[in-house]
Structure 1
Amino acid sequence: MSPSHSLSRRTFLTSAAAVGGFAAVPGLLSGCSSTDSSDDLLATIRKQGYVRIGFANEAPYGFKDGGQLAGEAPTLHKQIFKALGVPQLRASIVEFGALIPSLNANRFDVVSAGMAITSERCENAIFSEPEFISPTALMVRKGNPKKLADLGTCSSAGVRVGVLTAAVEKSYAQAAGVSNDKIISIQGQQDGLDALVAGRIDAFALTGISLNWLAKANAGAPVEVLSPFVPMVKGEKQYSPGGAVFRSKDTALRDAFNVELKKITSDPDRYVGLVGKYGFGKSEIPPADLTTAALCKS
């Protein structure tokens, strides 16, 4: 798994759905909207008053919460499209792996799912500038009895580190010097927390975003999430950034989106005010010099 892939893409839904204060679409295979034949999608969606988005129902990136569309991406995108003169999002739930194919089949106009920016995906669609980065963090038992801070301290202390099976944190741990016999494969996020509480592992490594959400979902569990850090592999920082996705021809919409996105990511208080409740803090704001163009070439 590439370091830039998000690791929580494990549970998907395939039905279209009506979502809270956002208008519903019928099925994904229903007729296409008026955006299909437009040479200028931005002008079209402004005129019609809505943009069609696709998401994968995955917390905390884009999901349904009590019938409402919630999560990092829809929250940011609602603000951005409102600033662009498009007041309404029309949302479809799609299996994560089908998001880009469905986008290119014109079933919606934007992927709003916190999708990781990778060179492979850049061959099939265009991305906004990064909306967030995904620094790694450690979940430890309450009080941090092993006095850990990052994977390097895990190596020095010789502790057992839980990582999701086939996830990139294994390579991060190895690069930090954690021995293979101390790296414990975990099937799911909840399994990691349970193993930590039971004493089968001493730390659980995952993105800080996912761990904070896991801790929130298990309020009262005797665990805590340490401050995020950016792992290094072969001298390269592993930021794991994500963004919105557009069809390759829709550069005008992507460029306008980027202008409004920059206004948010350059204002830490505004950014955290919008998406802090989903576990995105100042440490998740992309560095100014981290560009999609460079990520697509890597």
Structure 2
Amino acid sequence: MKNILAAIAAAAALIAGVAHTHADELTDRAAAGKPIRIGFAHEIPWAYPGDKNEPLGFANAIAVGVLKSMGYTNIEPVVTEWGGLIPGVQAGRFDVITGGMYITGARCKNVSFAEPMGKFGDSFIVKKGNPKGIQTYQDIKQKGATMVTVSGYVNVDAALKEGVPESKIIQVPSPTEVLAAVRAGRADVGAGDDFAMKQLAASAPQEIEATDTAALPDWTNNWVAVAFRKEDKDFLKAYNEAQAKYLGTPEMLEAVGKFQYTKAQLPGDAKTEWACANR
């Protein structure tokens, strides 16, 4: 009997050891006290680096708040171009994309999104007075206008879906170049999320204005979440549980308030599984 009990105990220990070694890489990394590396681009007010490279913006504020509620304070920011976020997390250059990324079906094939942190719409920037009267993608198509947006933004697919010719879409690395293209007349309209477009318009109020986000159809509204490697399933599950407790709390709303996020942007009942299938 003693031999049998000893064998059972040994088997249990072996199983526990195997279970531990099969924990995902990010869970093991965090448990070992290594920094959790968050990747984001320079996207005001979503996510951007401060003077000392600290992670600013409401998407970073939410992600960092959730991670801290999980007990993780060793957080390392990694700044890259927008187009390098998904390849970067896949290659292990950082662990989490916190850049305020829309959940789309195409992206869901490459990364695993947490549950949504917010719901957001898009808009355009145009020359002051909106000389071509552009409010929608159909306006861009019908008026033969040229659109500029950031490479990797969902606005490229949205414009193509609405029939805007690919030859009329300019893709650039950052929002700064979107503004520059519209100001210089190389493009008639710049496209992006409503926050970013209002920010660009505010930076050049004598020349540029933002269009009304409500003019675009409802299907252009999107849900945002942080994203992980497909392999980091355990950490994703724990993150979702922590985010559910943190989202919408007074602490969270205070942290994001200075970055223009309000209760109106809370995601409601939408789930990532739905967004992956419908966006």
Q: Shorter chain as normaliser: what TM range?
A: 0.5 to 0.7
TM-score by length of 1: 0.61
1:224/1:89 Cα in 2 relative to 1: closer, same or farther (>3 Å)? same
Q: Secondary structure at the match of 1:58?
A: coil
For residue 190 of structure 1, report the CA deviation from its aligned partner. Answer: 4.0
- Please state whether the residue corresponding to 2:65 is helix, strand or coil: helix
CA RMSD of the aligned region, Å? 4.3
Say which one has the larger Rg.
2
Q: CA deviation at 1:261?
A: 2.9
Q: In 2, Cα distance between the equivalents of 1:176 and 1:92?
A: 35
1:294 aligns with 2:279: no
1:4-25 Cα distance to aligned partner (Å, 9 max, x none):
xxxxxxxxxxxxxxxxxxxxxx
Q: What's the TM-score, normalizing by structure 2?
A: 0.65
CA shift in 2, pair 1:144/1:264, >3 Å: farther
Q: Label 1:212 to 1:238 Cα distance change in 2 as closer, same or farther (>3 A).
A: same
Give how far 1:66 is off: 0.6
Q: For 1:79, which of 43, 58, 65 is the aligned residue? A: 65
- Residue 50 (structure 2) aligns with: 65
Q: Is the 8 A contact 1:164 1:187 kept in 2?
A: yes
CA shift, 1:250, in A, is: 4.0
| Secondary structure of the corresponding residue to residue 138 of structure 1 | strand
Q: Whole-Å Cα distance in 1 between the matches of residues 187 and 97 of structure 2?
A: 36
AA aligned opposite 2:147: G
Deviations 1:166-224 (A, max 9, x none): 7653554465577x5995646464454345445665543322233234335x3444222
Q: Which residue of 2 aligns with 1:102?
A: 91
Gaps of 5+ in 1: 1-35
Q: Distance in 2 between matches of 1:54 and 1:264?
A: 18
AA partner of residue 54 (structure 1): I
1:160 aligns with 2:142: no
Distance change >3 Å, CA 270–CA 146, structure 1 → 2 = farther
**8 Å CA contact retained: 2:137, 2:162:** yes
Supply the distance in 2 between the matched residues of 1:186 and 1:147 (Cα, whole angstroms). 22
Contact map agreement 1:160 1:184 (CA 8 A) in 2: no
Deviation at 1:75, TM superposition (A): 1.3
Q: CA deviation at 1:77?
A: 1.3
Partner residue of 2:239?
Answer: 257
Once residues 113 and 277 of structure 2 are traced to their aligned partners in structure 1, the CA distance between those partners, rounded to angstroms, is 13
Task: Name the one with the larger helix percent.
Answer: 2
Shift of 1:293: 1.5
Report the alpha carbon displacement of residue 155 of structure 1 after superposing the two structures with TM. 6.5
SS in 2 for 1:87: coil
SS in 1 for 2:37: strand
1:151–1:110 CA distance, 2 compared to 1 (3 A): closer
1:1-298 counterparts in 2 under 5 A?
A: 39=23, 45=30, 48=33, 51-60=35-44, 61-67=46-52, 68-93=54-79, 95-103=84-92, 108-144=94-130, 149-152=135-138, 158=143, 160-164=145-149, 168-169=154-155, 172-173=158-159, 183=168, 185=170, 187=172, 189-197=175-183, 202-216=188-202, 218-229=203-214, 231-232=216-217, 237-248=219-230, 250-263=232-245, 265-266=247-248, 273-275=254-256, 277-278=258-259, 280=261, 284-289=265-270, 291-297=271-277
The amino acid of 1:77's aligned partner reads: A
Please say if residues 46 and 85 of structure 1, whose CA atoms lie closer than 8 Å, have aligned partners that are also in contact.
Answer: no
2:89 counterpart letter in structure 1: I
> Displacement, 1:228?
1.9
- 1:26-66 superposed Cα distances (whole Å, 9 cap, x missing partner): xxxxxxxxxx9584866984784x75123144323443221
**8 Å contact kept, 2:124–2:191:** yes
Check conservation: 2:97, 2:227, Cα contact below 8 A.
yes
Name the CA shift for 1:229/1:262 in 2 (closer, same or farther; >3 Å). farther
In 1, Cα distance between equivalents of 2:148 and 2:21: 46
Q: Identical aligned pairs, as a percentage? A: 22
Quickly say closer, same or farther: Cα 1:257–1:97, change in 2 above 3 A. Answer: closer
> What secondary structure is seen at the aligned counterpart in 2 of 1:82?
helix
In the alignment, structure 2 segments of 5+ residues that lack a partner are 1-19
Distance between the aligned counterparts of 1:260 and 1:266, measured in 2? 12
